[in-house]
Amino acid sequence: MTMKTDADGHEEFVNLFEKGLSFTKEILAENERLRFRMATLEAEVELARRQSGTAGPAGDPLVDSLRRQLAELEAERTRLLSSFREVETLNRDYQQRYSEIENEHNNLAHLYIASYQLHSTLSFREVVQVVSEIVINLIGVARFALYLFDGKSELLEPIAAEGVELSALRPIDLKDPIVGKAARTKERYLRDAAAPATGPVAVVPLATLESLVGAIVIDKLLVQKAELSPVDFELFNLLGVHAATALSSALLREQTGPEGQSLHLSRARALLA
Amino acid sequence: MADTQLHALVVEDSPTMRQLIVFALSRVKALKVVEADDGVDALKKLSQQHFDVLITDINMPMMDGLKLVSMVRKDEVHKDIPIIIITTEGAQEDRQRALSLGANAYITKPIQAPQVISKVKELLKLT
């Protein structure tokens, strides 16, 4: 079985995007061709009209021929106008689709990069750094804190923050009505847009299937970011699981000391047996 | 045959941001992208090859983006290279400083791929 590399996935994105672009360009070229054909026909119709106006009386073979030609040209013009409108509608649809695909492409890139970076290291410090970068740079957050859950004290302990001094933050009890509740229930909290702007904007619980790992508490978005977008919610979903596993793995690896720094094949086999 | 390949240097200490910018620029076919971790690394790479556009973050260790812009503009060989800085909306002073030092344009975080592509194409006069 061949594994898809990052470069393959990347190329697929680009190819999909290029196909959409190429198709839209074709539609635009067809549109342009029809416009030109219509302009030519209109000129021909106008000429035929003038010629029939200056031609002899009815029954004159030349007049009859020109009238027939005029009628044919009018019919052709009507048909082309109809086609032109269809192509214009199609064109608008494709432009809309193109824009949607571009947006989707951008969103997928954000998710791909977030996932890639989270699992690119087993250094706990670096994983925390990556989580912070995703929250700050991909979501667009001005103030947030990352908490780890301490199973002994049952408290969420702050370990990293941006926009606020870490020393100013206090541990949060699971009984806390917003952050604690989100962590306890493993359900994301989002402040109602209509609610007063107090308390966190969002709380993202970090949890594996087995246990609670921590939480990301977002207090303020960047000034230019009016609200959270659909891709931000996807990033929350991704962080909820992937940041939790990345933080847990890195912490466990660091805790095992030099023994844990290399993979043990026999242990791996035993676990799979 | 004339060489139509253009080269961009992306200077950013955050791997996440760097990957995002490189990913965006991969859609500009004429562009080959080289990455640098900070200003010092960027100057080293600038001394090794020609670049058509420079995209740099401001806050970086070793040498920040402002110092880099200043040094590039004073350099006889690279003084005309178009420079785009990456900044946050709130960091208006840094942005003004970078522009006054000779940066040509800026992009605000959180960055979006179309925004990066559009600025680069505009500066490189690509259609």
pLDDT in tens, A105-128: 889 999 999 999 999 998 999 999
Chain A to chain B Cβ contacts (< 8 Å): 58
Residues of B in contact with A228 (CB under 8 A): none
Q: Residue B60 contacts by C-beta under 8 Å, 6 or more apart in sequence? A: B11, B12, B13, B37, B38, B39
User: What integer pLDDT is reported at residue A52 of this predicted model?
Assistant: 65
**Per-position DSSP letters for B59-123, written without gaps between them:** S-SSS-HHHHHHHHHH-TTTTTS-EEEEE-TT-HHHHHHHHHHT--EEEESSP-HHHHHHHHHHH
Name the residue of chain B whose CA is nearest to A13's CA: B27
C-alpha–C-alpha distance, residues A111 and A262, integer Å = 29
User: What integer pLDDT is reported at residue A184 of this predicted model?
Assistant: 94
Could you tell me what percent of chain A has a pLDDT over 70? 88
Pick B17's closest partner by Cβ from A14, A133, A142. Answer: A133
C-alpha–C-alpha distance, residues B37 and B41, integer Å = 6
Q: Which CATH superfamily is domain A122-255 in?
A: GAF domain (3.30.450.40)
Tell me the two tokens of residue B32. Answer: 């080959």
Q: Is A224–B108 a contact, with Cβ atoms under 8 angstroms apart?
A: yes
User: What integer pLDDT is reported at residue A241 of this predicted model?
Assistant: 95
Asked if residue B115 has pLDDT above 60, the reply is yes
What are the sequence ranges of the domains in chain A?
6-117, 122-255
Segment A226-252 shows an average pLDDT of 93
Task: Determine contact: A19 vs chain B, CB below 8 A.
Answer: no
3 state SS of A156: strand
Q: Enter the pTM of the model.
A: 0.75
Q: Binning pLDDT at 50, 70 and 90, where does residue B1 land?
A: very low
User: What integer pLDDT is reported at residue A255 of this predicted model?
Assistant: 84
pLDDT in tens, B59-114: 888 888 899 999 999 998 999 999 999 987 667 787 888 889 999 999 988 888 88
Pick A138's closest partner by Cβ from B108, B110, B114. Answer: B110
Q: Is B19–A113 a contact, with Cβ atoms under 8 angstroms apart?
A: yes
The span from the first CA to the last CA of chain B, in angstroms, equals 21
A207 bridge partner residues: A212
Please, what is the Cα angle at A100 between A97 and A101, to 5 degrees?
A: 85
Task: Determine contact: A235 vs chain B, CB below 8 A.
Answer: no
pLDDT in tens, A15-74: 766 776 777 777 778 778 888 887 888 888 788 777 766 655 667 788 788 888 889 988
Q: Binning pLDDT at 50, 70 and 90, where does residue B117 land?
A: very high
> How far is the alpha carbon of B57 from chain A, nearest alpha carbon, in Å?
12
Write out the H or E segment, with its range, that includes residue A237: helix A230-238
Pick B14's closest partner by Cβ from A14, A133, A139. Answer: A133
Q: What is the largest CA-CA distance in chain B?
A: 47
Interface of B with A (CB under 8 A): 14-17, 19-20, 23-24, 26-27, 88-90, 108-114
pLDDT in tens, B17-34: 999 999 999 989 889 999
pLDDT in tens, A202-221: 999 999 988 999 999 999 99
Residues of B in contact with A142 (CB under 8 A): 90
With both helix axes pointing from N to C terminus, report the angle between A61-118 and B113-124 in degrees, rounded to the nearest 10. 110
User: What integer pLDDT is reported at residue A256 of this predicted model?
Assistant: 81
ipTM, 2 decimals? 0.81
Q: Binning pLDDT at 50, 70 and 90, where does residue A142 land?
A: very high
Asked if residue A3 has pLDDT above 50, the reply is no
Residues of B in contact with A14 (CB under 8 A): 26-27
> How far is the alpha carbon of A14 from chain B, nearest alpha carbon, in Å?
7
